[in-house]
Structure 1
């Protein structure tokens, strides 16, 4: 029995059902394969370094008192460390369960002990150093996780157990209701072989018509490159148009009004265009459009970036497998 089209009108309109399916899949299977694990570790590490600056920007802008500001800085520093360590630990556990060789956990334990030893004196305040001026904001975590991250990355060298085990389904397979789908993480070489600039023409036709408001359908990771190229071309055309208006209407008082109108239309188009691309890419990875809101939530945005840029396209498989 082959699965029917999962992305049907009934399913695609029920984003809440799809979101529940995504969360249930995360709970049912604790396994994670090499490629998504490797990229997840890197994304979390980059967030560990850069996230405090993003969280502190509103605090600095509010010009709070020094005493209150120091308390918030300390809280953000400890929260950033604890959340990052928890995510690293969960990823490591899921990778070990995928390999199904528990002795490999020794790599992570040794790296963790070494990290604790080398940073033992740095856990006391200030755990987060902040330097800011009117033009810049620089943050630095005093706890160095480099050794532990290297230890975690070693786990990506071990191959996955291709069969089902006690911790989840086999490689890249997710359970959807009583059926299954397969998520492929490869295929980039095939995309390079099929790359063609002629493929941006149909995209132009879509974004310049009412089809721009049709958010059904799918966009693969490779197709994101075409959509990005179209966006850059549209920006270039906007710049040429503004320059032309500024040249032709330089002596007319309506110039400023024309420019504001054109830029406003472009910004609205850009918002709808980007939102459409994000939703279709999420649907291609069999993820709910509600995950778009996760881009504005610290740490959750790391997972959403993974869904958008890393997780492959789903395909049908026989439910008997």
Structure 2
């Protein structure tokens, strides 16, 4: 779990690993008591990991919750469990909690909102009717995208250097999602707590474009986009070769209003996303362009990826994730 999320609270770990626990202990008197009870098993497991040098306390959130992260030894163990090369696991996130890890926690909440873990109703026998009804509503709601193994966080996107030793000038994706079984495209995600201006976000997207354009020799000796040497993706529908989509998830913590940031950002990045219109044939092509989509974390939490919560740059309507990400 921490191998994917890097740094997390026990509450976030429990909501992903054992979502049925969110509907147990409902008769306890206070929210604090209920939270302690439903996260007790995971707190105990993290204590065992600390004893074996696999995890450590990573500071506290601004609300006083303890943060947990893996050590280097723990990352190595997680790479075996997840069947991923250690080079793809990212850092141990040591020190992220010194400032409350607000961004890391928003990244985790984005993963949870997209994943939408389903509670196992068979594990809730004997719970009060209202708790069962709430759990059943979650279980019956539209599902999320992929499994936990579909998500990787803190992924370097080197404009220079190598995967293992990125040079200067590159980006770092907050999340990369690979869930082709669910019909999802390869997806890169940037999470913003509304602390960055449109100009700063545009600078990040320019780094994405630089990475997507980078060509390297593959194992067969042929030149390919560097990203295609790690992740498979189909070409466009009209024999064009669009870049993978980038999803911007805004969490309204800071002062900038995303309703004002997004239109300005769309203008600044028009050259990155605007397709070519073939009027005689009635379609756009997006050769060398990046589909850029925006949403809010609160809407994503409430409606999930199946909800009409995504706005694609260049389009005025709000739609579901499949419609927005297809070119």
Q: Same fold (TM over 0.5)?
A: no
Higher normalized contact order (CA 8 Å, seq sep 6+, divided by chain length): 1
**Greater helix content:** 1
- TM-score, normalising length from structure 1? 0.23
- TM-score, normalising length from structure 2? 0.23
